[in-house]
Structure 1
Amino acid sequence: MEGFKEKIYRSAPHSIQNLIITFFNILAYRKRYSTLYYEYLKHYKANNKLALDALLKIQKEKYGEFIAHAISYSSFYKKKYSEIANPENIDNIETLPIIDKEALRIDIDSVYTITKNKGHVSKTGGTTGKSLEVVYTAEDTAERFAILDNFRSKFGYTLGKKTAWFSGKSLLSERDVKKNRFWKTDYLYKVRYYSTFYIHEKYLKYYLQNLIKFRPEFMVGFPSTMYEIAKYGEKHNIPFPPHTIKAIFPTAETVTQAIRSTLEHYFKTNVYNQYASSEGAPFITECRNKNLHMELQSGVFEVLDDAFKPAHKGRLVVTAFHTHGTPLIRYDIGDVIELSSDKCICGNNNPLVKEILGRASDYIYSEETGKINLGNVSNCLKGVKGIVKFQVQQHHKNKLLVLIIKDEETFTDNDSKRFTSNLRERVGAKMEINVTYVKDIAVEKSGKFRLVKNSLNY
């Protein structure tokens, strides 16, 4: 909804806005749930328990076809691979150049294999603020949603079941905020969209009251938003009705152990994580045994160290088979993961990931202790009761700025000392730590909340 359409939406009353959202969903779902989508969904459901050898064979075949397509239709890749022998062979993947987001953005017009008006355009954000427009073919879109829905269907989800969706879309008007109404509803498909832009202590009770009244079967969206609501409920002893939510599906943000345990305890359900990206990264999905599986049918996953050599833990470089419109081949997506050598008995024979550590920039750097990842930063709250939310910013190698929203009733000097001690333990004695108490911490333009904002390049 842009321009004139957006003006109409903004000026419409709440009930009409709900109808407008429903109307746009009808149009979107007609395109998304095509005959091709159902063919892909049937394919992935049939392949849920394929042996690893069969999965690797499919991956090899799809890789060859995908590279051949990129060379034929993308002038960017045709030029890049002109002097590389047999680039279609997956065994030669290390001979292909690694592409990062900036390189892709600069030459994006030559990367496209179709024009924007012939595909579906998706805009990505990012920590640099520079957006990237990727174009998906109809086949790409159908396959991506089939993979995602195959994953969610394992836990009972289908379109039309009552769902609370925590979205980065800008849906609210000033009237909504004045009335403490932070949601819009698609009554046809039973989806209630909750804004992620007003997650403030003074508004959280309205979110929670409405969630309890709505009684969704599933929750989807930014985990940091759901986490704040759950913490509010725990703090104020507001029980969430048991046997209501069947599963929580987080998107777009890293799920720390603190977030997972709080969501599962308060909402009395299980969190099932999945990893992809708006650029079109291949999928990593979580099974009932809480193990993360790399979906080999969706692409190739390479984990590389700082020298871009294969590693057990490091930067994730992907080749995504459902990006025919804007091919992603050996794309350095900027995230860090750790592989696992364990085996899972759930029936999914795709290789395991031990942990998704988030964006490579989501860390604190200390000259004494090295890189402190997102999970370790989150754990600074251990033993601390009075902090509602915090964010660590690092713009100088020896300085940290810590923004803290404190609970005026429960926060004590001991909480302050304990938090600072926890952080000091992680960053060492030489780091300068500047703590500022604030009333609010802004989310990003996308609606996401970043626990760590690091502008360094280590």
Structure 2
Amino acid sequence: MASLADKIYLNSPHFFQGILISFYNYRAYKARYGKFYKDYLNEYKQSEKIKLNELLEIQDKKLVDLFNHAKNNSQFYYDLYKDIHLKEGSSLNDIEKLPIINKELLRKNISNISTIPKNQGVISKTGGTTGKSLEVIYTKKNLQERFAILDLFRNSHGYELGKKTAWFSGKNLLSKKDIKKNRFWKTDSFHNVRYYSTFHIHQKYLKFYIENLIRYKPEFMVGFPSTMYELAKYGIDNKISFPSGTIKAIFPTAETITQELRFVIESFFKTRLYNQYASSEGAPFIIECNHGRLHQDLRSGVFEVLDENNKPTNKGRLVVTSFTSYGTPLIRYDIGDVIELTNEKCTCGNSNPIVKSILGRISDYIYSEEMGKINLGNVSNCLKGVTGVIKFQVIQNVLHEIDIIIQTDESFKKKDELVLLRNFRYRLGNKLKINLIKSKNIHVEKSGKFRIVKNNLNL
């Protein structure tokens, strides 16, 4: 049921809706950019060039501080750690003594995990694309620290708050009148941000998005890359020329970046995409530098990459400990993503270790008993050599069968169907049953995100 505020918003004129959005953002920015924000911004800026051994010393001390805070202020962690102690100088080596927790354990015990009441912090909710949403509490200081880290990253690529920005997020801001008028955006004129709906990325609407982006002339684009990809793909397919030099940088959020996705987005919008990794729960940051390399930010937390036996490996599931999660501590939290590390060094001057690739959520794969796990990148590459597919989604509900839902246009022919199935067979083997289902529209998640792969197995 819609709240009173939602009803007032949806029944207000278009111009007044923009004012309401500006007012909402004013309140949100007030919390994000409070009295601690500038101090954190300066602290992180000054320590950008420090050496790895100093970063590890900072990380070690922060780990002990977080551990003690959680143990002293959370009933859940007190019970979990009552026989465990960490001390400065050896905490990073001893972190494996701490039990690993996952999202379900966090969700079931959330009331005993949080260290402050909701009215003393800022509530953050995960999107729920992998199940029921999770609600965590940030301290006000931690929230401002996280935005300082994020803004420092974006500032390094030219962005500043107030510069004209196109934002693609999960906010459901449109009325029925907007849809009838082919108006798929709302503008916060005070903060110079235009929000584009990610719930209406349909072939018949995409030209209106692109035409408006060209007229609006944003300097930056932020948000779900799957939406930007659909727009870019449509623009390329329809030979639309996006004005060169308009967009200075693109900052994707929430979704995994594949090489194909990056190539298509950068080609159409004629600019660079700069990736960063964090999470609504409060995971530490991985950020892309000007040299195109992904760096762990050791000041924001601890990154462990573990195999199936919880032993360190170069490519495996990511377990994080976040130094900006004092309200709802995340310590050795199995976040459900997979990353690959490398020992290579970067010449940008940042000494933080390099991440070779972020491979996405563990659930973003198809499992074939014959071939093993086929990850998101390989699934998305099944469109190579295929024309006429507007959008597709792969769903696996049972072990021996998958559904491939495709949305096509008139150029999709029988030969394209055969190539598509052949590409999947090459990756999945011959034993898995494939159901090809044609659909007029494939829906996004309630959060506004679109998932190419939905694996509902409990493997």
TM-score of the two chains, using structure 1 as the length reference? 0.98
Tell whether the 8 Å contact from 2:136 to 2:327 is kept in structure 1 after alignment. Answer: yes
Tell whether the 8 Å contact from 1:81 to 1:87 is kept in structure 2 after alignment. Answer: no
Deviation at 1:309, TM superposition (A): 1.2
- Counterpart residue identity of residue 426, structure 1: R
Cα distance change of structure 1 residues 85 and 36 upon mapping to structure 2, 3 Å threshold? closer
- Counterpart residue identity of residue 345, structure 2: K
Provide the C-alpha distance between the structure 1 equivalents of 2:133 and 2:264, rounded to a whole number of angstroms: 33
Deviation at 1:260, TM superposition (A): 0.3
Tell whether the 8 Å contact from 2:129 to 2:445 is kept in structure 1 after alignment. Answer: no
Tell whether the 8 Å contact from 1:392 to 1:451 is kept in structure 2 after alignment. Answer: yes
Tell whether the 8 Å contact from 2:56 to 2:298 is kept in structure 1 after alignment. Answer: yes
Is 1:150 matched up with 2:159? Answer: no
Deviation at 1:457, TM superposition (A): 2.3
Provide the C-alpha distance between the structure 1 equivalents of 2:85 and 2:249, rounded to a whole number of angstroms: 47
Deviation at 1:142, TM superposition (A): 0.5
- Secondary structure at 1:244's aligned position in 2? coil
Is 1:243 matched up with 2:245? Answer: yes
Provide the C-alpha distance between the structure 1 equivalents of 2:59 and 2:261, rounded to a whole number of angstroms: 33
Counterpart mapping for 1:214-225 below 5 A:
214-225=216-227
Tell whether the 8 Å contact from 2:287 to 2:297 is kept in structure 1 after alignment. Answer: yes
Is 1:36 matched up with 2:36? Answer: yes
Is 1:256 matched up with 2:248? Answer: no
- Counterpart residue identity of residue 171, structure 1: L
Provide the C-alpha distance between the structure 1 equivalents of 2:451 and 2:10, rounded to a whole number of angstroms: 28
Provide the C-alpha distance between the structure 2 equivalents of 1:131 and 1:429, rounded to a whole number of angstroms: 36
Tell whether the 8 Å contact from 2:162 to 2:191 is kept in structure 1 after alignment. Answer: yes
Tell whether the 8 Å contact from 2:336 to 2:362 is kept in structure 1 after alignment. Answer: yes
Counterpart mapping for 1:340-351 below 5 A:
340-351=342-353
- Secondary structure at 1:400's aligned position in 2? strand
Provide the C-alpha distance between the structure 2 equivalents of 1:85 and 1:437, rounded to a whole number of angstroms: 57
Partner of 1:9: 9
Partner of 2:202: 200
- Secondary structure at 1:194's aligned position in 2? strand
Partner of 2:267: 265
Tell whether the 8 Å contact from 2:295 to 2:352 is kept in structure 1 after alignment. Answer: yes
> Higher mean Cα deviation, 197-206 or 28-37?
28-37
Counterpart mapping for 1:371-386 below 5 A:
371-386=373-388
Partner of 1:324: 326
Counterpart mapping for 1:22-101 below 5 A:
22-86=22-86, 89-101=91-103
- Counterpart residue identity of residue 57, structure 2: K
Provide the C-alpha distance between the structure 1 equivalents of 2:141 and 2:307, rounded to a whole number of angstroms: 33
Listed one character per residue, the Cα deviations across residues 40-62 of structure 1 (whole Å, up to 9, x for unaligned) are 01111111111111111111111
Tell whether the 8 Å contact from 1:87 to 1:96 is kept in structure 2 after alignment. Answer: no
Partner of 1:125: 127
Provide the C-alpha distance between the structure 1 equivalents of 2:274 and 2:122, rounded to a whole number of angstroms: 28
> Higher mean Cα deviation, 185-194 or 85-94?
85-94
Partner of 1:437: 438
- Secondary structure at 1:333's aligned position in 2? strand
Tell whether the 8 Å contact from 1:304 to 1:313 is kept in structure 2 after alignment. Answer: yes
Tell whether the 8 Å contact from 1:67 to 1:87 is kept in structure 2 after alignment. Answer: no
- Secondary structure at 1:341's aligned position in 2? coil
Deviation at 1:35, TM superposition (A): 2.1
- Counterpart residue identity of residue 419, structure 2: R
Provide the C-alpha distance between the structure 2 equivalents of 1:371 and 1:87, rounded to a whole number of angstroms: 40
Provide the C-alpha distance between the structure 2 equivalents of 1:403 and 1:2, rounded to a whole number of angstroms: 31
Listed one character per residue, the Cα deviations across residues 226-252 of structure 1 (whole Å, up to 9, x for unaligned) are 000111111111110000101110000
Provide the C-alpha distance between the structure 2 equivalents of 1:86 and 1:447, rounded to a whole number of angstroms: 41
- Counterpart residue identity of residue 199, structure 2: F
- Secondary structure at 1:329's aligned position in 2? coil
> Higher mean Cα deviation, 364-373 or 80-89?
80-89
- Secondary structure at 2:187's aligned position in 1? strand
- Counterpart residue identity of residue 445, structure 2: E
- Counterpart residue identity of residue 11, structure 1: N
What root-mean-square deviation, in Å, do the aligned CA atoms of Structure 1 and Structure 2 show? 1.2
Partner of 1:162: 164
Sequence identity of aligned pairs in percent?
60
Provide the C-alpha distance between the structure 2 equivalents of 1:289 and 1:364, rounded to a whole number of angstroms: 33
Is 1:180 matched up with 2:151? Answer: no
Provide the C-alpha distance between the structure 2 equivalents of 1:406 and 1:117, rounded to a whole number of angstroms: 48
Provide the C-alpha distance between the structure 1 equivalents of 2:156 and 2:183, rounded to a whole number of angstroms: 33
Provide the C-alpha distance between the structure 1 equivalents of 2:453 and 2:177, rounded to a whole number of angstroms: 32
Partner of 2:112: 110
Listed one character per residue, the Cα deviations across residues 299-338 of structure 1 (whole Å, up to 9, x for unaligned) are 0000011111111111100000000000000000011111
Cα distance change of structure 1 residues 128 and 152 upon mapping to structure 2, 3 Å threshold? closer
Tell whether the 8 Å contact from 1:64 to 1:90 is kept in structure 2 after alignment. Answer: no
Provide the C-alpha distance between the structure 2 equivalents of 1:2 and 1:331, rounded to a whole number of angstroms: 34
- What is the aligned length? 457
Listed one character per residue, the Cα deviations across residues 58-92 of structure 1 (whole Å, up to 9, x for unaligned) are 11111111111111111111111001133772321
Deviation at 1:128, TM superposition (A): 4.5
Is 1:418 matched up with 2:423? Answer: no
Aligned equivalent of 1:226, options 228, 232, 247? 228
Provide the C-alpha distance between the structure 1 equivalents of 2:282 and 2:362, rounded to a whole number of angstroms: 18
> Higher mean Cα deviation, 152-161 or 84-93?
84-93
Listed one character per residue, the Cα deviations across residues 336-373 of structure 1 (whole Å, up to 9, x for unaligned) are 11111111101111101111111111000011110000
Provide the C-alpha distance between the structure 2 equivalents of 1:275 and 1:45, rounded to a whole number of angstroms: 19
- Secondary structure at 1:429's aligned position in 2? coil
Provide the C-alpha distance between the structure 2 equivalents of 1:276 and 1:114, rounded to a whole number of angstroms: 22
Deviation at 1:456, TM superposition (A): 1.1
Listed one character per residue, the Cα deviations across residues 375-430 of structure 1 (whole Å, up to 9, x for unaligned) are 0101111111221111111111111110011121x212221111111111000011
Provide the C-alpha distance between the structure 1 equivalents of 2:244 and 2:264, rounded to a whole number of angstroms: 15
Cα distance change of structure 1 residues 363 and 87 upon mapping to structure 2, 3 Å threshold? farther
In structure 1, runs of 5+ residues without a counterpart are none
Is 1:457 matched up with 2:458? Answer: yes
Is 1:300 matched up with 2:273? Answer: no
Provide the C-alpha distance between the structure 2 equivalents of 1:85 and 1:115, rounded to a whole number of angstroms: 26
Partner of 1:311: 313
Partner of 1:391: 393
Tell whether the 8 Å contact from 1:36 to 1:139 is kept in structure 2 after alignment. Answer: yes
Provide the C-alpha distance between the structure 2 equivalents of 1:345 and 1:382, rounded to a whole number of angstroms: 34
- Counterpart residue identity of residue 50, structure 2: L
Tell whether the 8 Å contact from 1:134 to 1:326 is kept in structure 2 after alignment. Answer: yes
